[in-house]
Amino acid sequence: MGLFKLDLDSMENYVGNHLRLFISMAIGILVFVGIVALSIFFASVRGAEETMVPEVRGKELTGALMELQVKELYPRIQLRYSQSALDKGIILEQEPAAGTIVKAGRRIRLVVSQGILISRVESYIGRNVDDVRMEIQTLNAASGSAAPLLSLKEPFIYEYSSEPAGLILQQSPLPGTDISGPAVLEFAVSLGSENAMVRVPGLVNMSVGEALEAVGKTGLDFVFSVRPQEEGEAALLVVRQRPAGDTEVPNNSTLEITVASPSQSPDDYVFGLFRYSIPKNPYPLPVKLEALFPSGERVTLGEINYAGGDFTLPYELPRDTELILSMIDRELYRERVALLPLELELFEN
């Protein structure tokens, strides 16, 4: 009986010891799993390691990608034309900028040069200079660069020839010339035959601006005059021209244009005739008359290619407006509009 009791006590101790060991191990495992879970949680909350964006502008694409790979950064590449053929494959821009601290795995925007949009000068000989100007403007816009890829040297060299007026006779650089950066084109442009005949446009009932634009397309010289408005006439419109519209005259003729002055201008407005003598040039140059209003607003009253002589243009403007005459964007003369009666000679028929 005593022996049985001893065995029973020993068994209870054995079971109790193993139970405590099991419970301890279970608790230990739970604690370990909890620590691992917490570590993973805090690691995920903290995110990827931070790194500094390297400077890759001006470097070749291959080298830039290697530097980004070392920093565990990934590229997002955009292509763009540049101003030099030597830039092809070079990093032009990057975002974020060098030195920025970002998380590893961040994408870095790289703008990579495709080189120059064109590599050779094409032939413009025999084409209309206005069409070529528009084409070059479109080409520069397509390049996406701030500086123009091609530009025109103005004023052009004009000369009489058997070719129609406005056609390009010669160019520099010559067609087929290799270019590796921005280029300036120089053109010799035809004035037409020295004794060619020009058809005069009908200007009667046109505004001053419309008449000036129509005359500019003919290449004829012109002179404006004004006279008082008569019954049935609209003020500020062309009421007479000489030679008459739809007639043919030599291309060195002068077109006389008469405008009706208003019987009464609005308060603080002045009607007048601007006149300034421009020195004669061997070929027409861009001439522009602008109005600078007292408010500071600046508008163009008329713009035309003009070879020189008395440049005239009627106007009706607020008092104290400044009239500014320029040639090739260089100011020649300015005057202020004042409330003064027109001189009698301006009203001659």
Reported as a pLDDT band with limits 50, 70 and 90, residue 207 is: very high
Reported as a pLDDT band with limits 50, 70 and 90, residue 34 is: confident
68 phi and psi, to 5 degrees?
-65, -35
Residue 263 shares a structural domain with residue 217: yes
Q: Of residues 346 and 309, which shows the higher confidence score?
A: 309
Residue 204 shares a structural domain with residue 333: yes
Q: In the listed set 190, 210, 225, which residue is the last one of a domain according to the structure?
A: 190
Is 24 a member of any domain?
no
Is 23 a member of any domain?
no
Residue 72 shares a structural domain with residue 138: no
Cα separations in angstroms, 82 against 136, 279, 349? 16, 42, 60
Place of tokens 């019954």: 231
Q: Is the dihedral of CA 58, 63, 69, 74 positive or negative?
A: positive
Residue 203 shares a structural domain with residue 269: yes
Taking the C-alpha atoms of residue 317 and residue 322, their distance in angstroms, rounded to an integer, is 9
Q: Residues 18-32: pLDDT tens digits?
A: 667 667 777 878 777
Provide mean pLDDT across the span 114-122: 74
Reported as a pLDDT band with limits 50, 70 and 90, residue 156 is: confident
Nearest by Cα to 297 from 320, 271, 313: 320
Residue 97 shares a structural domain with residue 150: no
Q: What is the pLDDT of residue 345?
A: 42
Taking the C-alpha atoms of residue 157 and residue 283, their distance in angstroms, rounded to an integer, is 7
Taking the C-alpha atoms of residue 296 and residue 291, their distance in angstroms, rounded to an integer, is 10
Q: What is the pLDDT of residue 83?
A: 65
Residue 211 has pLDDT above 60, yes or no: yes
Reported as a pLDDT band with limits 50, 70 and 90, residue 146 is: low
Provide mean pLDDT across the span 266-295: 91
- What is the pTM (predicted TM-score) of this model? 0.53
Show Cβ contacts of residue 171 under 8 Å, excluding neighbours closer than 6 positions.
121, 123, 124, 125, 185, 186, 187, 188
Residue 273 shares a structural domain with residue 292: yes
Q: What is the SS3 assignment for 249-305?
A: EECCCEEEEEEEECCCCCCCEEEEEEEEEECCCCCCEEEEEEEECCCCCEEEEEEEE
Reported as a pLDDT band with limits 50, 70 and 90, residue 346 is: very low
Taking the C-alpha atoms of residue 63 and residue 113, their distance in angstroms, rounded to an integer, is 15
Residue 44 has pLDDT above 80, yes or no: no
Residue 317 shares a structural domain with residue 206: yes
Q: Is the dihedral of CA 275, 277, 278, 282 positive or negative?
A: positive
Is 328 a member of any domain?
yes
Residue 204 shares a structural domain with residue 183: no
Pairing assessment for the beta strands 91-95 and 107-113 based on DSSP bridges: antiparallel
- Most confident region among 96-105, 233-242, 335-344 by mean pLDDT: 233-242
Q: Domain residues for 294?
A: 197-347
Residue 162 shares a structural domain with residue 222: no
Q: What is the mean pLDDT of the chain?
A: 84
CATH number (domain holding residue 78) = 3.30.10.20
Give the chain's domain count: 3
Residue 178 shares a structural domain with residue 203: no
